[in-house]
Amino acid sequence: MFVFLKFLVLSLLLVSCGGRNFLFNLKKDKSQNNQIGRVKDTDGKDLVSVEKEKQVATDELNQSANQSELENMYDKMLDGQKMKGKNIYKIAFLAPLSGPNKTIGQSTLDGIKMAMLDSGSNNINLFPFDTAALDMKVIAEKIKSENVDVVLGPIFSQDVEDLVNSFIKISAPIITFSNNAALTKYNSIEIFGVSPIDKIKVAIDYARQNGRQNFAALIKSDAGSIGIQKAITSEVKSTKSALLSIGFYDDSQTRISSSINTILKSRSVTFNIAKDGTPYLMNIKDLQKMEKSGQKPQNQEIRNLDVIITDAGGQFLDTLLSEMDSAGMLKKDIMIISISDSVEVGVLNHDVKFITYDKERFNVFEKFYKETYSTKPTTFSALGYDATGVLLTLFANNNFSYDALHDKAGFIGVSGEFRFGKNHIVERKYCIYGISNNAISKIR
């Protein structure tokens, strides 16, 4: 039988942080808030694509402090970060804390608890709910009866749907760790999950800035593969680049080899060029019709593969690279870009670019997380820390409101810089790292 637990933050945390500082703060430079279009760095290069039709105002993103500065900042408590006043804020956390996905839920909860401890908060009540063990209607009733101020979670989009459709009206805003943009149909929901779509935009922009515009993709065949495929196809088309092929792989050696062969067979592809410059492939029926009439397609170009985007990382990326090397594909004229957060130096000395969060900030977080929990943090640990950091910062300033949450200047957390968009989807600044000569270096 599930017993609902109400914890004060200090009773939730079983370890002492020894006066560590809160690795989270509001961004202070708001001078560029009215810029439209793309976020640029100081030399004018595009960093992050922003859909023009949304007309999202962007600001100049601050440079992250180096690691030594972060460690000093983490070791000393910032003046004014502790909660003041007598207000007691209530946060509900919804995630699987049992069953096959309990590791995800627990790592997120650990990130939340760590943010509370580091901030020195003493007026927060945290209500954790196990979505794997409890009916969502029961959870919704308890959230309502406790008059919770904000909900963190759920993690999975179906749980979010179940919560909203539980017929129990919840007045508290919901910050979900899902990345399902379709959930924005509910006005009270903010999407805080990490979406590969934003990384894909950065990857394609970076490739094009370096003279590459002929793409292929290697995508793992799983539940998210269709979304990644659509995002790559759409973004390549919107930039008038060419998508030569997409290969799907899984854990089997046969499928890995097959995906590499798919890319290999399409290293050179003839495209028809539309009047606006967009490359496109004519379908078979159109080609057959033209052949029968004796016509030939006009404005054709042969495009040669020069960049591969993949979601593989870590040791699995190394496996793919080994297969590509055996197929003679690892040449300097082909750029490899990974959107994985698993940035590791592999056995192959090949230049790979990674689109990921700010590793310098995350490494400091990882160090103290391991000291606290004796294990490495996950992406969900960082999301839990940062989402909680937003709330604690706004609570501390007695400024928890829609406008404050959607401040254009945004926030700086352990995963880097981000802000809540007006479309209720978080916008993140991703960094670009390179691996070359057995070393990882930050490009920008």
Pair 74, 214 in one domain: no
What is the mean predicted confidence (pLDDT) over 45-53?
A: 30
- Separation between Cα atoms, residue 341 and residue 333, nearest integer Å: 24
Report yes or no on 291 lying in a domain.
Answer: no
User: Within this chain, do residues 250 and 390 fall inside the same structural domain, yes or no?
Assistant: no
Q: Which domain holds residue 222?
A: 196-267+305-356
Summarised one tens digit per residue, pLDDT across range 324-346 is 888 877 766 789 999 988 876 65
- Quick: pLDDT tens for 131-148: 999 999 999 999 999 999
Say how many domains are in the chain: 2
Residue 77 counted as domain residue: yes
216 and 158 both lie in a single domain: no
In-domain check, residue 323 = yes
Residues 185 and 225 in one domain: no
> Strand pairing of 268-273 and 300-304?
antiparallel
What would the pLDDT profile of 366-415 be if each residue is shown by its tens digit?
999 999 999 999 999 999 999 999 999 998 888 888 888 988 899 999 98
**Residue 157 and residue 137 share a domain:** yes
The CATH code of the domain that includes 322 is 3.40.50.2300
240/251 same-domain check: yes
pLDDT in tens, 194-244: 888 889 999 999 999 999 999 999 998 887 788 899 999 999 999 999 999
* Same domain (yes/no): 310, 233: yes
Neighbours of 374 (CB within 10 A): 8
Omega of the bond leading into 154 within 30 degrees of 0 (cis): yes
One domain, residues 124 and 254:
no
Nearest CA among 219, 218, 230, 228 for reference residue 264: 218
Assigned token pair, 4: 């609902």
Q: Are 165 and 233 in a shared domain?
A: no
Do 127 and 249 fall into the same domain? no
Q: What pTM does this model have?
A: 0.75
- Are residues 106 and 141 located together in one domain of the fold? yes
Q: Which CB contacts under 8 angstroms, 24+ apart, belong to 99-104?
A: 99/132, 99/133, 101/132, 101/155, 101/156, 102/132, 103/378, 104/155, 104/378, 104/380
Task: For residues 205 and 150, state if they share a domain.
Answer: no
